[in-house]
Structure 1
Amino acid sequence: MLENETINLDQYSNTMKLLDLNPKLAPELHIQALGDNILDRCKAICRSKYFDLIGTIFAILSVLFVTIEVSNRPVNTDYMDLVAFTLPMAIANCCFLLYFALEIILKAWAFGPLNFFRSSTMHILEATVAFTCFILQILFLVIHGTPIVSMIYLEMVKKQKPIFSLWAAIKVCNMLFIYRLVRFLPASKNIRIIVGTIFDEFRNGGAFFGLLFSFYYAYSILGMELFGGVMDDFYIRYNKSNITICGTYEQLEYWPNGFDDFYSSIITLYNVMVVNQWDVFVDGFRNATNSYWSELYFIFWYLFVTNIGLNVCLALSGDIHDAKKQRADQNEELIVSNMYDIYRSQIKEPSSEEITEQLSKHPYINFCQRSAEGINLS
């Protein structure tokens, strides 16, 4: 646009609509309608929530069996006792893995492969975990001829030799089926609001978290300049004196919490921020520096970050939660895409006449072209 060029009301309205758009949760999917024949009825069964519920129950049982199987491995010293105890659960897990692979295939057939995998990233994760576990289990059966852990692996574990066997890979992958419990989260409106509040806080709190990181970075550098190496000298003096007072920095052995490097500085400041025995840190650095002025460093950090920063974070979380709760009560979209959506209910919007009057004074927006037709901005 040129410097003196104007736009009309339609162009202005379209621009405002684009700026006010909310992101969609999923792309538009065209799922084929079902008929009354046998195949369509089978597809309807695979699309139903009960089919998902059965898979989730099997996933919980699979994780439970794997946990029992793995936990009883060091208990049974005799290999034959281990086989007798874990064989039924191992066979059941093999059946579960076969079911999970078939479940993905049936769902992809019922919804259509493109629609099924495009509708949610969880479906891609489910398919990846299911087929990975199934392929690893087939390889294990081909190599060892049994779903039970091999005796060679047990001997290497007893000798404390680090090894990540195929059997261990199967069990680790099998434990990932616990993620299917996430499906129950949308069933409760309150849980959806709470989980959505966390995501929306990260979406809308970028400026705040950036400012908090800047505080961490600057204060860590300042702490390294002020207190770098003081704890090393304090540690030497402490070992020479051999005097221990209960509850102090040295008695609790907080030596790694210092300002000798950037990473330990971040951890130390975090401990002070969450008020995790921050008085112990204050006393420890005061004794290390032999100066009461060192307390000002931690006091200012406590005031600006703990009292102000965390309260702002909690206030933002509370406002987002209230906004989402109000939207849920009004059956509106739960996404809070910008700060205006959070405080929209508390803002007194101007009338249409006031908006028209102010916009008519704008040097680059020409509303005179539509004045005869009337302008409705409500």
Structure 2
Amino acid sequence: MSVERQAMLFDAVDNYGNGSLDRAAFQQLCTMLRMGSQGAPPRRTWLQIIAPDFVSSSIWQAVDAFVRSRAFELVIDAVLVCNAVLLLVLEFVPDPKHDLDAWNSWSTIMGLVFTWIFVIEMLLKLASLGFIVYARSLMNLFDAVVTVAGVVLTVLIIWPNGYDDPIYLRYALLLRFVRFFRVFYLIPAVAFIFSTFVRIIPNATVLIAVLLSGMYVIAALGMQFFGGLINRDPSREQGALLTADKDWPNYYWPNNFNDMMSGMVVCFELLVVNNWHVVTEGFTCVAGNWARWFFIINYLFMHNLILNLLIAFAIEAYNAAMKESRTARLAEIEQGYYGDDGPSVHHAVHGNPQQIHTPELLSQADGVLVAARLEYREDVDKLELQRLEIEYAIKLVQLKEEHARKVAAVASNTLRKSVEFGRLLSEETRQQGRQQGRQQGDSFR
């Protein structure tokens, strides 16, 4: 098979365009090879249609290989880290906000550099993978949305209009900082937690709806009971009391039930137990001691009941997803042993496992498989998996040999008992013949 044909087959099953195949894609590739790869339509990108000569050139082949490689993703991750560092520098280092030529400053220039880097990254991936393969990855779609939004915000910054304040540059950097979370996604454990969280959201809609409804009811009751009591007006009694109260910090003034949005914010703070006793003391100061019961009931119902139910559901869903993931990986191991699409390596080495009928041997074989399951972890690499397969194969051979020895011993014991039984039977038959002969002789006399 030519190199071009191999590349075409690989691209046809490389659903995500990352230069690697998952199990389903590998099985599809095997099926195509077994069927002679007939009917496998080549996937052509828009660049292959527009400029086929350029795509076949050695320069683009090198660029395409680099874009699909792991090194390209590492470079983008490094750029994201630099973007995060720049955001921290802009946060703690003063910037000339009111300078008319501020967009020429080093921070603005660095922001433009990052914007162009991410635009080039998106264009290279679109040229290498094509629109269809690029859109199949949620990570690529997320990066594209953030990149386009960053470009729009950058244009608004440098274009003379009402949004050319350099402060918006920080917003652009902060928008690109959202992509920094993809670095955490590279950690398998963190990626599994994120994927599990996204997967359980549809199943937890009822609990989330109950939680939001409870917050809305509490906010509405708070507006009814405490609306307008938290204010800075010194001419009003409540404002004077709060101003004189040393236990009520100045930055707690927004925690009020004067409107629905502020009430929802207070409900969220009470839900996560964010200094809820300080908030309670403020409302107690202006409304009386009975206000404590309002916040205590809210704490018991919303935090101890509803929120804990939601957390318990999330933990249970995470444990179930973890168990399902391990079961799926172990199923892949078992499928590698037994196969489901015809003879596997296990069949080739050991023959048909259905020929083993001894319950003891099957129990021992299952014990070996359980041991292999216990040794299997998420960080097991291919060499470790091959080692487990070899150990499993050797153990099964030993078990079959032991089974053969047991069968031979049973057969030998059965034969010995049969010979002994035949000897005893023949002796008993001779004795019965002698006794019958004596009885017949006595009758003749």
Measured against the shorter chain, the TM-score band is: 0.5 to 0.7
CA distance in 2, matches of 1:55, 1:253: 40
**1:227 and 1:196 mapped to 2: Cα distance?**
41
Q: Which has the higher contact order (CA 8 A, sep 6+)?
A: 1
The 3 A distance-change label for structure 1 pair 313 and 235 is farther
Aligned to 1:49: 70
1:305-330 superposed Cα distances (whole Å, 9 cap, x missing partner): 11111211221121122122223333
Percent of aligned positions that are identical: 21
Q: Which residue of 2 aligns with 1:114?
A: 132
Are 1:97 and 1:130, in contact at CA under 8 Å, matched by a contact in 2?
Answer: yes
Aligned-partner residue type, residue 76 of structure 2: G
Structure having the higher Rg: 2
1:217 offset after TM fit, Å? 2.2
Q: Is residue 305 of structure 1 aligned with residue 326 of structure 2? A: no
What's 2:312 paired with? Answer: 315
Question: CA shift at 1:191, angstroms?
Answer: 0.2
**Displacement of 1:190:** 0.9
- Deviation at residue 41 of structure 1 after TM alignment: 5.5
The 8 Å contact of residues 224 and 259 in structure 1, kept in 2 or not, is answered as yes
Counterpart amino acid of 2:189? N
Structure 1 residues 263 and 329: alpha-carbon distance in aligned structure 2, compared to 1, 3 A threshold: same
- CA separation of 1:166/1:47 partners in 2, compared to 1, >3 Å: closer, same or farther? farther
Amino acid at match of 1:237: E
User: Do the aligned residues in 1 keep the contact of 2:280 with 2:295 (CA within 8 Å)?
Assistant: yes
- CA distance change for structure 1 residues 221 and 186 in 2, over 3 Å: closer, same or farther? closer
Q: CA deviation at 1:209?
A: 1.3
**Structure 2 SS opposite 1:164:** coil
Gaps of 5+ in 1: 1-27, 144-152, 154-161, 334-378
Which residue of the partner structure matches residue 36 of structure 2? Answer: none
The corresponding residue for 2:267 is: 269
Unaligned runs of 5+ in 2: 1-27, 29-39, 45-55, 331-445
Partner of 1:374 in structure 2?
Answer: none
Instruction: State the superposition RMSD in angstroms.
Output: 4.9
- Aligned residue number for residue 277 of structure 2: 279
Does the 8 Å contact 1:220/1:265 carry over to 2? yes
Q: Distance in 1 between matches of 2:152 and 2:240?
A: 61
> How many pairs were matched up?
279
Normalising by the residue count of structure 1, what TM-score does the alignment of the two structures yield?
0.55
Higher helix share: 2
Distance 1:30 1:173, change over 3 A: farther
**Pair 255,200 (structure 1): closer, same or farther in 2 beyond 3 Å:** same
Name the TM-score, length of structure 2 as normaliser.
0.48
Residues 129 and 173, structure 1, Cα contact 8 Å, conserved in 2: no
CA–CA separation in structure 2 for the residues paired with 1:319 and 1:246: 44
CA deviation digits over 1:104-132, x for unaligned, max 9? Answer: 3332232223322x222443454466577
Please name the residue that 2:18 is paired with. Answer: none
In structure 2, the residue corresponding to 1:276 is in which secondary structure?
coil
- How many angstroms apart in 1 are the aligned matches of 2:329 and 2:65? 29
